């Protein structure tokens, strides 16, 4: 039986929009994350996909406790994450780590690789006593496939893919249980992307890690995820196993998203079922009433404007937030 | 047979910097015919954008120097042409759109003004005529409510609309050829699909030649007629899109295809290309791909492979091209 490690319920993060210089008035809220619930099981990868502005990175920041949530809760190993203080919070910070998107700006250019990867040990001294740190850092470099001799080099002496490995080593330093990967491969070239994806896969099976894998590239998410959540304007619109989402999507947005991904096979030209969405993603400050997707949806009817569809099983075998959910294979 | 619209021949470009000379292009050659799409595929630093910038004549010299080669547009060698003549070709003959529309557009002028500018300067239109034409062009690229939006600034446009505005701008002087440098890389996938559809439509309508520079194999498979794969400033493989995906003729292309996660396949093992792309100041001897190539032997380290013909209009710069392609 799968054992949940992270349970998120109805998580909301709104950012106020303020105007004025001296007397700031709040004129609205950016509803970045607007009621997201999911469960992450031990040793599992949950893929979170969506277009820019759908709230996937804000979700990562709230899960890291870098931003306090507006409302909602999350339990890590059964205990309320957002109520933790002091020693318990410090332990949580060890257990959940993050790998960031841009390997160029997420490493301090004035620190050596050894200092970057070893810095977590300064705070969490119990993980590695002073004398053993250098060896630990070298072990970590070795784990992520870098030369342990390069401990004294600076980030600029490494390529993009190597830097992303440094970021992964830093995340691994405190032996976390969950790693939030926020677009870890999207800044990398194709030939390097595969290397880093394989590394993430190996580390997961060797160390029993759980991943929240955030990306906009649906092919990458499919490759690494056990379960997938599709986000649109701060909400999860469809969730299911990798198979359910990719082979039997029921939400129109998921279907459109999947059909828009070009498949690297010219013989499929013109044979694929292509759904073209019109327009852009609406502003998260003032999202459409009812179903957020209705303004771009070809199935939209009156009910979509008045009633927000719940994320429940309607058609097929997995939850989908659409009044007219219907299976349609598009891949 | 008619002459190709654009012909690039044995182009060599180097960047002379304080840290040494980077040989960015080392003999690039390709042709594009009217109404045809050539995809130039490569990773960062492979020289695909520099080739485009050389064709457009927008490389900064110094540090960039064209040391050898020719670029013929409708039979005329652009590298030998005067600066004035090159300016005439830009926009009228060959236009270009860039990856990042936000930084390619000027933030302090309205979108309309930026489209109209070329019409007034190059076509001698009055402000009123130019405005009318700009609205037509924005309509053509399907910007809703073009009449009102023509007076807006780039920051008021969304990412997809900015890219549309840039396409409108590139079409203003009715070019015969369009170079699109990663036109959809910065966009979300649903918007990417819209922009690619638009480009395809415009190209067919106007019978334009299109060079599509990209690193996305999916986009290539979807729209290209022919593909030139670049590595370390060379074209390592050149083939028809169907042939290339069915049976790649160069180990680099082969490895690229194998390292790609696919939406329509699950649980596949991703093969990786070991190592890193080479530094252009220090390109490996012999075949530049040999340190990363799974089938490299001694001859690869010493001898630069010639372009082997693998059939009509198909070449591969690998000593073992025939062997590679027959495996596919």
Label residue B66 by pLDDT band (50, 70, 90).
Answer: very high
* CA separation for the pair A204, A210 (Å, rounded): 7
**How many domains is chain A built from?**
2
Band (B279; pLDDT cuts 50, 70, 90): confident
- Does B219 sit within 8 Å of A193, measured CB to CB? no
| Amino acid B31: pLDDT | 92
Distance CA A112, CA A106 (A): 13
Residue A240 resides in a domain: no
Q: Which of B145, B222, B230 should one mutate to test binding to chain A, selecting the residue with the greatest count of A CBs within 10 A?
A: B222
Probe site for chain A from B193, B215, B225, B256 (most A CB atoms < 10 A):
B193
Nearest CA to A244 out of A318, A305, A185 is that of: A318
Contact B238, B31 (CB under 8 A): no
- Give the sign of the dihedral formed by CA A77, CA A78, CA A81, CA A85: negative
Q: Is B282 on the interface with A (CB under 8 A)?
A: no
Q: Are residues A9 and A71 in the same domain?
A: yes
Whichever domain contains A125, its CATH number is 3.40.50.300
Query: Which residue in this structure is represented by tokens 């002028």?
Result: B109
- Long-range CB contacts (within 8 A, 24+) of B54-62: B54/B11, B54/B13, B54/B25, B55/B6, B55/B8, B55/B94, B55/B179, B55/B211, B56/B90, B56/B94, B56/B96, B56/B179, B57/B86, B57/B89, B57/B90, B58/B90, B58/B96, B59/B13, B62/B16
For residue B218, the chain A residues in CB contact (below 8 A) are 219, 261-264
How far, CA to CA in Å, does A268 sit from each of A61, A84, A273, B139? 39, 52, 10, 31
CB pairs under 8 A, 24+ apart, for B201-206?
Answer: B202/B140, B202/B141, B202/B167, B202/B171, B203/B35, B203/B37, B203/B178, B204/B35, B206/B171, B206/B174
Q: Distance (Å, rounded) from C-alpha A240 to C-alpha A249?
A: 9
A269 vs B193: CB contact, 8 Å cut-off? no
Residue indicated by tokens 């804000």? A58
Are residues A86 and A179 located together in one domain of the fold?
yes
Contact between residue A246 and residue A267 where contact means Cβ atoms under 8 Å apart = no
The verdict on A321 and A258 lying in the same domain is yes
pLDDT at B288 (0 to 100): 92
The reply to whether A8 falls in a domain is yes
Q: What is the pLDDT of residue B129?
A: 93
Q: What is the ipTM of this complex?
A: 0.80
The 8-class DSSP code of residue A288 comes to: P
Answer whether residue A234 is part of any domain: no
Q: What share of chain B is helix, strand, coil (3-state, %, to 5)?
A: 40, 25, 40
Same domain? For A102 and A155 the reply is yes
Question: DSSP string of B167-205?
Answer: HHHHHTT--SEEEEESTTTTS-HHHHHHHHHHHHHHHHH
Among chain A residues, CA nearest to B271: A194
H/E segment holding residue A141: helix A133-143
Let me know if residue A242 belongs to a domain.
no
State which of A192, A225, A258 marks the end of a domain.
A225
Strand-pair category, B226-231 with B234-240: antiparallel
In a domain, A255, yes or no: yes
Domain match, A201 and A258 both: no
Interval B295-310: pLDDT, tens: 889 999 999 998 888 8
Q: Are residues A63 and A129 both part of a single domain?
A: yes
Q: For A269, which residue in chain B has the nearest alpha carbon?
A: B222
How close A293 comes to chain B (CA, Å)?
A: 13
Nearest CA in chain B to A256: B190
- All residues of chain A having their beta carbon less than 8 Å from the beta carbon of residue B192 are 260
pLDDT at B2: 67
Query: Chain A partners of B145 at a C-beta cutoff of 8 Å?
Result: none
Q: What is the largest CA-CA distance in chain B?
A: 68
CA atoms within 13 A on the CB side of B146: 18
- Classify the C-alpha dihedral B121-B127-B128-B133 as positive or negative: positive
Cβ contact B220–A264 (<8 Å): yes
Query: Which chain B residue has its CA at the smallest distance from A253's CA?
Result: B190
For residues B16-26, average pLDDT: 88
Question: Within this chain, do residues A221 and A253 fall inside the same structural domain, yes or no?
Answer: no
CA torsion angle B297 B301 B307 B308 (round to 10): -20
Residue A147 sits in the same domain as residue A258: no
The whole-angstrom separation of Cα B53 and Cα A36 is 46
Domain annotation covers residue A143: yes
Considering A225, A257, A290, which residue would you say is the last residue of a domain? A225
Residues A168 and A36 reside in one and the same domain: yes
Would you report the helix, strand and coil content of chain A in percent, each value rounded to 5? Answer: 35, 25, 40
Buried b (16+ CB within 10 A) or exposed e, B211-220: bbbbbbbbbb
Q: Are A164 and A82 contained in the same domain? A: yes
Cβ-based contacts of A158 with chain B (< 8 Å): none
- Please tell me the predicted confidence (pLDDT) of residue A228: 95
| A-proximal residues of B, 234-273, CB under 8 Å | 241-242, 245-246, 255-257, 259-264, 266, 268, 270-273
Q: Quick one: angle between helices B127-140 and B111-123, nearest 10?
A: 120
A256 touches B at CB < 8 Å:
yes
Touching B: A residues 79-138, CB under 8 Å = none
Q: Which pLDDT score, from 0 to 100, does residue B325 have? A: 82
- Alpha helices per DSSP H over chain B: 48-56, 83-92, 101-104, 111-123, 127-140, 146-149, 159-171, 189-206, 217-223, 241-246, 251-258, 298-302, 321-327
pLDDT value of residue A1:
55
Tell whether the model's pLDDT for residue B268 goes beyond 80. Answer: no
Residue B111 φ/ψ, nearest 5 degrees:
-60, -45
Mean pLDDT score, B42-46: 85
What average pLDDT values come out for chain A (331 residues) when binned by 10 residues? 88 89 83 93 94 88 93 92 91 93 88 92 86 90 89 89 91 93 86 87 92 91 93 94 92 91 84 79 86 91 92 89 88 72
Q: How far apart are the C-alpha atoms of A126 and A174, rounded to whole Å?
A: 10
Q: Is the pLDDT of residue B92 over 70?
A: yes
A277: nearest CB among B190, B262, B266? B190
Expressed as residue numbers, the domain containing A318 is 249-331
The pLDDT value recorded for residue A101 is: 86
A190 and B259 in contact by Cβ < 8 A? yes
Q: pLDDT tens digits, residue range B152-194?
A: 999 988 888 898 899 999 999 999 999 999 888 878 888 888 8
Any B CB within 8 A of A222 CB: yes
Question: With bands split at pLDDT 50, 70 and 90, how would you rate the model's confidence at B151?
Answer: very high
- Whether residue A266 and residue B241 make contact (CB cut-off 8 A), yes or no, is yes
Closest residue in chain B to residue A195, using alpha carbons only: B272
Residue B273 vs residues A54, A141, A189, B152, B258: alpha-carbon distances, Å: 33, 20, 11, 46, 9
A238 assigned to some structural domain: no
- The rounded percent of chain B whose pLDDT value lies above 70 is 98
The partner residue sitting opposite B245, judged by closest CB among A195, A219, A264, is A264
Same domain, residue pair A44 and A91: yes
Using the beta-carbon criterion (under 8 Å), do A194 and B219 form an inter-chain contact? no
From A187, A210, A225, give the residue that closes a domain. Answer: A225
Q: Which of chain B's residues have a Cβ under 8 Å away from the Cβ of A55?
A: none
User: Angle, to 10 degrees, between the axis of helix B159-171 and the axis of helix B127-140?
Assistant: 120
Nearest by CB: B221 against A51, A264, A274: A264
A249 touches chain B (CB under 8 A): no
Which has more confidence, B213 or A189?
B213
Average pLDDT over residues B238-250: 91
Would you state the pLDDT for residue B72? Answer: 93
Share of chain B above pLDDT 90, in %: 52
- Our measurement of the distance from residue A120's CA atom to the centroid of its chain's CA atoms, rounded to an integer in Å, reads 22
B102 at interface of A, judged by CB pairs closer than 8 A: no
- Whether residue A260 sits in one domain with residue A126: no
Summary mean pLDDT of chain B:
89
CB pair distance less than 8 Å for B262 and A219? yes
* Collapsed DSSP state (helix, strand, coil) of residue A207: helix
CA closest to A159 among chain B residues: B276
Backbone angles phi, psi at A194, to 5 degrees: -65, -40
Cβ A161–B276 below 8 Å, yes or no? Answer: yes
Are B46 and B169 contacting, i.e. CB atoms less than 8 angstroms apart? Answer: no
């Amino acid at each position: 039986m799968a054992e949940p490690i992270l349970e998120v319920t109805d998580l909301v993060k709104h950012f106020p929009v303020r105007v004025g210089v001296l007397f700031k008035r709040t004129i609205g809220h950016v509803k970045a994350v607007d009621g997201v619930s999911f469960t992450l099981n031990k040793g599992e990868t949950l893929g979170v996909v969506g277009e820019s502005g759908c709230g996937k990175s804000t979700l990562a920041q709230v899960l890291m406790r870098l931003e306090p949530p507006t409302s909602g809760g999350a339990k890590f190993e059964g205990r309320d994450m957002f109520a933790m203080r002091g020693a318990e919070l410090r332990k949580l910070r060890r257990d959940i780590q993050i790998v960031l998107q841009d390997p160029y700006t997420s490493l301090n250019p004035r620190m050596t690789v050894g200092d970057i990867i070893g810095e977590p040990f300064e705070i969490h001294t119990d993980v590695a006593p002073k004398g053993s740190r250098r060896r630990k850092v070298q072990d970590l470099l070795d784990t992520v496939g870098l030369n342990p001799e390069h401990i004294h080099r600076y980030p600029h002496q490494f390529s993009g893919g190597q830097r992303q490995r440094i970021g992964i080593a830093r995340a691994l330093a405190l032996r976390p249980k969950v790693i939030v990967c926020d677009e870890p491969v999207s800044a990398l070239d194709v030939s390097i992307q595969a290397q880093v994806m394989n590394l993430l896969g190996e580390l997961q099976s060797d160390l029993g890690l759980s991943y929240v894998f955030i990306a906009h590239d649906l092919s990458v998410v499919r490759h690494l995820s056990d379960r997938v959540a599709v986000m649109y304007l701060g909400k999860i619109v469809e969730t299911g196993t990798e198979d359910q989402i990719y082979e039997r999507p029921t939400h129109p947005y998921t279907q459109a998203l999947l059909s828009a991904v070009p498949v690297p096979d010219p013989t499929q030209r013109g044979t694929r079922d292509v759904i073209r969405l019109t327009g852009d993603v609406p502003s998260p400050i003032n999202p459409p009433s009812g179903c957020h997707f209705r303004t771009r949806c070809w199935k939209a009817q009156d009910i979509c404007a008045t009633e927000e569809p719940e994320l429940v099983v309607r058609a097929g075998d997995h939850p989908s937030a659409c009044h007219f959910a219907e299976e349609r294979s598009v891949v | 047979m008619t002459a190709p619209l654009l012909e690039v021949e044995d182009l060599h470009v180097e960047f002379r910097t304080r840290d040494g000379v980077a040989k960015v292009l080392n003999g690039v050659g390709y042709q594009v015919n009217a109404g045809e799409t050539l995809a130039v595929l490569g990773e960062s630093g492979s020289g695909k954008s520099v080739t485009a910038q050389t064709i457009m004549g927008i490389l900064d010299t110094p540090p960039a120097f064209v040391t050898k080669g020719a670029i013929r547009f409708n039979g005329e060698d652009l590298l030998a042409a005067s600066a004035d003549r090159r300016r005439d070709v830009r926009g009228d003959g060959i236009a270009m759109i860039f990856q990042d529309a936000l930084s390619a557009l000027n933030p302090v002028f309205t979108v309309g003004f930026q489209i109209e500018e070329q019409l007034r300067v190059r076509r001698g239109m009055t402000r009123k005529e130019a405005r009318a034409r700009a609205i037509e062009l924005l309509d053509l690229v399907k910007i809703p409510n073009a009449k009102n939006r023509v007076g807006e600034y780039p920051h008021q446009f969304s990412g997809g609309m900015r890219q549309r505005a840039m396409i409108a701008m590139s079409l203003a002087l009715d070019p015969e050829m369009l170079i699109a440098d990663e036109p959809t890389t910065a966009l979300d996938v649903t918007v990417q699909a819209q922009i690619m559809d638009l480009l395809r439509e415009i190209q067919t309508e106007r019978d334009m030649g299109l060079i599509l520079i990209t690193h996305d194999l999916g986009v290539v498979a979807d729209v290209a007629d022919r593909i030139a794969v670049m590595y370390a400033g060379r074209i390592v493989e050149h083939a028809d899109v169907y042939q290339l995906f069915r049976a790649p003729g160069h180990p680099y292309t082969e490895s690229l295809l194998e390292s790609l996660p696919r939406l329509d396949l699950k649980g596949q093992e991703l093969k990786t290309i070991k190592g890193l792309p080479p530094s252009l100041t220090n390109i490996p001897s012999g075949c530049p791909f040999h340190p990363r190539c799974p089938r490299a032997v001694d001859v690869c380290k010493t001898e630069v492979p010639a372009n082997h013909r693998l059939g009509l209009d198909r070449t591969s710069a690998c000593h073992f091209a025939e062997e590679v392609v027959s495996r596919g």
